[in-house]
């Protein structure tokens, strides 16, 4: 609309910035002045009209221009020393406002380049822009709904992933030649063996804390010896497996997601499929099976080291001797507690491995998605581990173990 109105008028003054008129002090940025004469208005622009100087200036200018009630307005750019597309955009917006008020507009510019910029930097009408966002309450409800369906979808996805995994296991049982032994061994080392130091250390410390705190409380009743029994139940039945599971969830679920996710992002998984191979066989089975095989070992180590840690604390801080501790432990301990703890291990490992691998496959081509998914997979893996533990706890208590 405005390009019809824009016209070049030869400069009356020297194009090199033009001498400032009386009262027109050149501002460090840009400025403008409104001159009214015989029903015509002259908007005289001066100085820098560029992106850096527009803050505040643009609003003032548009407001002033919008308030003009005149039949003819001329925009004089003679005093403008620099103009860029942002400045030109603001001038165009002003022209549009003036034009909407049925006002004849005219642009005076010494510089061809300014006119070119004015013709380039057209405002985009509101109508052409994508619609505004929905109001906050609607967005909130939207988000809640989306999150709920996401939870449902990802649960279903996990379930079908579990099915696919079990199916692949069955397939591999029939054709063991396709099992990737190297990969399996590598992941057993990565996810299992290399976790031993950190699992042992933490288990030792937790064992100490549990025994020490228990002993302090029980000493009030003169029942220090029961702290040994308490240590046994806590570590063997619950803490050993939970501790190892939380650590492995943090170590391995995240690394599975990141590894597979970046392979998806890099289209390596597509390449595997295109070669007629199965990412399940190549990537998922070695990882999950390695975890299921090595995780009970980690739990066992956590149990042993935890009990040693607890024993250390008890022997160091009370008058119970090492021999005494061992005898008491032997007398009180039940294999039950140890087995109950250990039997949960493969299930936790399966959950951690499935969550880690499943989320890896959810990655899109952006690097950011891998980051999000890694966080989600760790959180979900720990959540699942605790849920599994709770289910087993209820189950075992009910069957009297």
Q: How far is the CB of 365 from other proteins (least distance, A)?
A: 6
CA dihedral of 322, 324, 326, 327, whole degrees rounded to 10: 160
Q: How far is the CB of 153 from other proteins (least distance, A)?
A: 19
Q: Which is nearer to other proteins, 35 or 52 (CB)?
A: 52
Q: Which is nearer to other proteins, 15 or 152 (CB)?
A: 15
Q: Which is nearer to other proteins, 124 or 174 (CB)?
A: 124
Q: Which is nearer to other proteins, 48 or 231 (CB)?
A: 48
Question: Residue with structure tokens 């959810």?
Answer: 362
CA pair distance 95, 68, nearest whole angstrom: 11
- Within 98-157, the residues that bind other proteins by CB under 8 A are 113, 115-117, 119-124, 128-130
Phi, psi of 14 (to 5 degrees): -65, 140
First vs last Cα of the chain: how many Å apart?
A: 85
Q: In which order are the strands placed within the sheet that holds 72-83?
A: 30-37, 40-49, 72-83, 104-108
How far is C-alpha 237 from the geometric centre of its chain's CA atoms? 35
- Within 340-399, the residues that bind other proteins by CB under 8 A are 364-369
Per-residue burial over 302-337, b = 16 or more CB atoms within 10 Å of its CB, e = otherwise: bbbbbbbbbbbbbbeebebeeeebeebbeeebeeeb
CA pair distance 40, 30, nearest whole angstrom: 23
Neighbouring CB atoms inside 10 A of 128's CB total 7
Is 54 among the residues that bind other proteins (CB under 8 A)? yes
Are the C-beta atoms of 99 and 75 separated by less than 8 Å? no
User: For residue 88, with 0-12 CB atoms within 10 Å meaning exposed, 13-18 middle and 19 or more buried, which class applies?
Assistant: buried
Q: Which is nearer to other proteins, 89 or 211 (CB)?
A: 89
Is 51 among the residues that bind other proteins (CB under 8 A)? yes
Q: Which is nearer to other proteins, 321 or 366 (CB)?
A: 366
Q: Which is nearer to other proteins, 119 or 147 (CB)?
A: 119
CA pair distance 218, 62, nearest whole angstrom: 79
Q: Which is nearer to other proteins, 109 or 252 (CB)?
A: 109
> Residue 136 corresponds to which tokens in the numbers above?
């906050």
Q: Which is nearer to other proteins, 67 or 397 (CB)?
A: 67
Q: How far is the CB of 70 from other proteins (least distance, A)?
A: 25
Which residue from 1, 14, 25, 52 is in contact with other proteins, where contact means CB under 8 A? 52
Which residue from 10, 37, 55, 275 is in contact with other proteins, where contact means CB under 8 A? 55
Q: How far is the CB of 97 from other proteins (least distance, A)?
A: 13
Is 59 among the residues that bind other proteins (CB under 8 A)? yes
Q: How far is the CB of 347 from other proteins (least distance, A)?
A: 36
Q: How far is the CB of 74 from other proteins (least distance, A)?
A: 17
Number of residues that bind other proteins (CB under 8 A): 36
Helices 285-317, 136-174: crossing angle, 10 deg rounding: 100
Q: Is the dihedral of CA 132, 134, 140, 141 positive or negative?
A: negative
Is 6 among the residues that bind other proteins (CB under 8 A)? yes
Phi, psi of 28 (to 5 degrees): -60, -30
Which residue from 41, 48, 58, 283 is in contact with other proteins, where contact means CB under 8 A? 58
Q: How far is the CB of 337 from other proteins (least distance, A)?
A: 48
Is 89 among the residues that bind other proteins (CB under 8 A)? yes
For 47: left if phi > 0, alpha if psi spans -120 to 50, otherwise beta; the answer is left
Stretch that binds other proteins, among 2-10, 156-164, 178-186, 328-336 (CB under 8 A): 2-10
Q: Which residues bind other proteins (CB under 8 A)?
A: 3, 6, 8, 50-52, 54-56, 58-59, 84-86, 89-90, 93, 113, 115-117, 119-124, 128-130, 364-369
């Amino acid at each position: 609309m405005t390009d019809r109105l824009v016209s070049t008028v030869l400069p009356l003054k020297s194009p090199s910035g033009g001498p400032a008129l009386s009262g027109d002090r050149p501002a460090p940025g840009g400025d403008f002045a409104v001159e009214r004469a015989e029903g015509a208005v002259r908007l005289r622009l001066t100085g820098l009209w560029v992106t850096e100087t527009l803050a505040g200036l643009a609003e003032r200018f548009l407001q002033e221009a919008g308030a003009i009630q005149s039949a003819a307005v001329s925009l004089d750019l003679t005093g403008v020393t620099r103009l860029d597309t942002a400045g030109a955009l603001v001038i165009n917006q002003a022209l549009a406002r003036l034009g909407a008020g049925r006002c004849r507009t005219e642009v005076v510019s010494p510089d061809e380049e300014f006119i070119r910029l004015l013709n380039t930097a057209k405002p985009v009408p509101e109508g052409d822009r994508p619609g505004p966002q929905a109001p906050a309450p609607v967005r909130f409800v939207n988000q809640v709904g989306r999150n709920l369906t996401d939870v449902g979808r990802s649960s279903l996805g996990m379930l079908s992933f579990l099915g696919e995994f079990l199916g692949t296991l069955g397939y591999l049982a029939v054709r063991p030649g396709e099992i990737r032994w190297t990969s399996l061994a590598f992941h057993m080392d990565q996810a299992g063996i290399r976790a031993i130091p950190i699992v042992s250390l933490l288990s030792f410390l937790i064992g100490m804390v549990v025994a020490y705190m228990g002993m302090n409380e029980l000493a009030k009743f003169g029942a220090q010896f029961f702290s040994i029994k308490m240590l046994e139940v806590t570590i063997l039945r619950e803490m050993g497996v939970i501790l190892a599971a939380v650590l492995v969830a943090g170590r391995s679920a995240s690394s599975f997601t990141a590894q597979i996710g970046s392979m998806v992002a890099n289209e390596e998984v597509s390449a595997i499929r295109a070669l007629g191979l199965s990412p399940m066989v190549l990537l998922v089975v070695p990882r999950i099976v390695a975890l299921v095989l090595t995780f009970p070992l980690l739990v066992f180590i956590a149990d042993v080291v935890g009990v040693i840690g607890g024993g250390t604390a008890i022997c160091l801080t009370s008058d119970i001797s090492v021999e005494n501790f061992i005898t008491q432990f032997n007398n009180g301990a039940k294999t039950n507690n140890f087995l109950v703890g250990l039997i949960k291990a493969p299930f936790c490992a399966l959950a951690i491995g499935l969550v880690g691998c499943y989320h890896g496959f959810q990655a899109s081509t952006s690097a950011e998605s891998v980051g999000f998914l890694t966080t989600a997979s760790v959180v979900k893996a720990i959540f699942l581990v605790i849920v599994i533990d709770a289910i087993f706890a209820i189950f075992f208590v009910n069957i009297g173990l």
